[in-house]
Structure 1
């Protein structure tokens, strides 16, 4: 596991976007695993800029999103499908039939999870998986637990996660209690994983992830078992990490 520390959020976004552009230019039909939340927004803005400048072509790219809230319609501004179109897909030349996001309003959620697994098997492995990290160490919506689920599943969101996400809603009562998420093995099958971390609120968990053992109670620590993981963190997120563990 490699950690690269950059000056600020802008630089973190730029470095991550450039890595994705390089991947697509090398392999135009790359499969990307994408994340939502505030952390990757800057990266998506940079990707749009690179596309508009003619530096990258998304026409043959396939994307899989990590997760989606259960119960939010596609038109809900807080749904992740809305987020992805608003922040990336509507601004690039990606084939809309090559975009895969779990359906959080499916009548049969268990069948929806199985459908998503079949798609991941058909088009995978993912070439680059983008991850954020929750303040409690979750990746996707794989929350701290005695046991972690391997494949796509319906996850119950912890109160800590719901409180962290409440800033996007009117109040915490509006934050869904469940989400469909890729499982740990889905994430670990990716050829390369890029974990983004920004801000002082992420400093404690970044330190715990790097400097403690592997634990299901810190789901992100599982990434230590992957062959090709890079953490890109700004100085605030890496402020508690010993310098010997970092690459400037």
Structure 2
């Protein structure tokens, strides 16, 4: 796990976009794991800007969403397929049919989850997975208590997550109680995981993710077991880290040939 502490969103987005750009240079048909929420928005802005400048071509890329609400009608503005379309897909040249998400309106939810796992596997697996971090340490919608070996499945949201997401809906009562999410075991199979967290409200979760034990109470801590995880945070999110100075020193002195 590499921990990179940067001044703010602009620098974090630039570094994450560098990783995507390097991947697409090596593998134009790469598979991206796409997160929603506020954390990845600056990254999508930077990727769109680079695409507009002719630096990035997404025409052969496939994208897989991390999660989706259960019970929202197709086309609902807060369904994550629609959010990804607005925030990312419509701003670059990725073919619409190349963007995949779990089907939260399927009549057979377990079958839909199995089909999504099959689709990820048949694509060759996720090359680079973007991740945000919940204030309770969740990634995707893997809430505290999630199995560290879990696969795509239905989950019940805790009330804190529903309150955190109510700002995207008209009210808390409109936020669904259930979601489909890639499991922690699914996320661990990505070749490169890039997690972004900013702000003092994420400081405790960042500490538990990086310096706490690997435990279901902080689902993101499973990334300690990932063979290639990059944790990009700002100074506020890093404020509870005991080894912050070491992380800064390591990044400042990493070999010039070593990418993120």
The answer (yes or no) to whether the contact 2:148–2:222 under 8 Å persists in 1 is no
Q: Aligned residues, how many?
A: 248
Report the aligned-residue RMSD: 1.3
In the alignment, is the contact (CA less than 8 A) between 1:3 and 1:245 conserved in 2? no
CA contact 1:73–1:105 (8 Å) conserved in 2: yes
C-alpha change, 1:13 and 1:65, in structure 2 (3 Å) is same
Residue 147 of structure 1: CA displacement? Answer: 3.6
Q: What are structure 2's unaligned runs of at least 5 residues?
A: 252-260
1:245 Cα offset (Å): 4.4
> After superposition, what is the alpha-carbon deviation per residue over 1:34-68, rounded to whole angstroms, capped at 9, x for unaligned?
10001101100110000010001001101111000
* 1:32-51 superposed matches below 5 A: 32-51=32-51
Partner residue, 1:8: 8
Aligned to 1:64: 64
Moved runs in structure 1, 4+ residues, more than 6 A?
Answer: none
CA distance in structure 2 between the partners assigned to 1:38 and 1:208 by the alignment: 21
The whole-number CA distance in structure 1 between the counterparts of 2:225 and 2:139 is 15
Once residues 150 and 45 of structure 1 are traced to their aligned partners in structure 2, the CA distance between those partners, rounded to angstroms, is 31
1:1-248 equivalence runs, <5 A: 1-145=1-145, 147-148=147-148, 150-242=150-242, 243-247=244-248
Query: TM-score scaled by structure 1?
Result: 0.96
Q: Summarize deviations over 1:79-130 as a string: whole Å, max 9, x none.
A: 1111111111111111222111111111111111011011011013211111
Q: Tell me if structure 2 keeps the 8 A contact 1:142–1:148.
A: no
Structure 2 length as normaliser, TM-score? Answer: 0.92
Cα 1:10–1:146, aligned 2, differ >3 Å: closer, same or farther?
Answer: closer
Tell me the secondary structure at the aligned position of residue 207 of structure 1.
Answer: helix
Uncovered stretches (5+) of structure 1, i.e. residues with no partner = none
| Gap change, CA 1:70 and 1:54, over 3 Å in 2 | same
**Whole-angstrom distance in 2 between the partners of 1:55 and 1:65:** 24
